[in-house]
Amino acid sequence: MSESRKNAPTVAENNGRNFKIESPVFRDGSEIPENFTCHGDNHSPPLKWTNVPASAREFALICEDPDAPRNPPFIHWVVYNIKNDVFELPEGISTEDLQTDKFSQGVNSEGNTGYMGPRPPPNTGTHRYYFRLFALDQKMNLPPNLDKDQLEDALTGHIIGEAEIVGRHAHH
């Protein structure tokens, strides 16, 4: 069991059992379109979630590449303080949107705020990009610019559901 999954309990409530995250631009396990990668426009992909646990008070999202050749996983996006009446992230969220009334963004593995699209190094094959959404049992009121480890520490004991979609991308 990976370090990042050890605190994610199974969803106890029936209504959260089918908690799901999707994207209108790629299916689970399929190729992420180029404009959502560093080889294209580097736009964050649109994401939507459904069947959330009834007791969810907030959401958090982490996008990571476990196939990165150095120091995996490479963190591509950290979004949190997502209000419980928000059920999607639109395409192309600006890295300038550090903190809005709907969400906050953290730092990726490059040390920059916001989304950094897939950019696997040459000759490393196809990489997998896990977009993991967490349903939380309370409003966290976390400051902007947290990294993945700081966010996961804060979420410990508050995760009541998890949904995931995986995209793929290779160096072209």
Look at residue 97 and tell me if it is in a domain: yes
Look at residue 7 and tell me if it is in a domain: no
Total tally of structural domains belonging to the chain = 1
Look at residue 131 and tell me if it is in a domain: yes
pTM over 0.75: yes
| CATH number for 132 | 3.90.280.10
Phi and psi based region of residue 81 (left: phi greater than 0; alpha: psi -120 to 50; beta: remaining)? left
Look at residue 11 and tell me if it is in a domain: no
pLDDT of 7 reads 39
Look at residue 12 and tell me if it is in a domain: no
pLDDT of 2 reads 40
Look at residue 46 and tell me if it is in a domain: yes
pLDDT in tens, 5-48: 343 333 444 456 799 999 999 999 999 999 999 999 999 999 99
pLDDT of 16 reads 64
Look at residue 2 and tell me if it is in a domain: no
Can you give the residue range of the structural domain that contains 99?
A: 19-170
Question: Above 50 in pLDDT, residue 79?
Answer: yes
pLDDT in tens, 111-139: 999 999 999 988 889 999 999 999 999 99
* First-last CA distance in the chain: 32
Exposed / middle / buried, residue 82 (Cβ in 10 Å: 0-12, 13-18, 19+): buried
